[in-house]
Amino acid sequence: MLKLRVLFLAFAIFIFSVEAIEKGNQLNQEQYIPPSMPAYPESYEGVMATFAPYYQAERPLDYFFELYIIRVLEKLPNCSKVALEEFNKKHPSFFESTNGSWRAYVKQKLNLSNTIEVAIWDLWIRNSANAKNNGWEYHPWHFAQSFLENYFAEGSKVDVWEGNSLELAKQRIVEFRENGN
């Protein structure tokens, strides 16, 4: 009788273990799936097409801030830079206060600090590494949208440097670049 109880207990533990392993595998398969991002604008028409939803939502500055972030990360293709310059030429009054510079306009209108680029790079390095460790690739535009959302969140600590955090961030950036990234 004791052998039967031990056998039953061993069987129950085995079944429980198999169910736990299957559940764990199921959880691992349900990983984060990043959103599909629009293609970078390759022409004036592309800028207008990607800009339109932001303009309609009365968030035009968000569009240019996202592109600013992507440009800081050196991920904005040359054709997009040319397309943005064409946008400047066709709409000179849009960035008139900064002599047609959309990047200077973003910095001015959002009152960005002199360390914003450090904040962008530092968060990109850390967050894209986390994404890679979790089995997905962080698209620069997706990162820019997340950065914007977190930057404007109430109580945001983005681009707020306490203690030696700025120096540590700069060191991470140097190391990242030294490693060929």
Question: What residue ranges do the domains of the chain occupy?
Answer: 44-178
Cβ contact 106:64 at 8 Å: yes
**Which residues lie closer than 8 Å to 48 by C-beta, 6 or more apart?**
87
* pTM reported for the whole predicted model: 0.81
Cβ contact 87:44 at 8 Å: yes
Helix (H, G, I), strand (E, B) or coil at 126: helix
Token representation of residue 3: 């052998």
Amino acid at 45: E
CA 33 to each of CA 37, 71, 140, 143: distance values in angstroms, whole numbers, following the listed order: 12, 24, 15, 14
Distance CA(114)–CA(14), nearest Å, equals 60
Please report, in tens digits, the pLDDT of each residue of the chain (181 residues total). Answer: 545 454 444 444 444 444 444 445 444 556 778 888 889 999 999 999 999 999 999 999 999 999 999 999 999 999 999 999 999 999 989 999 999 899 999 999 999 999 999 999 999 999 999 999 999 999 999 999 999 999 999 999 999 999 999 999 999 999 999 998 7
Token representation of residue 157: 């600590």
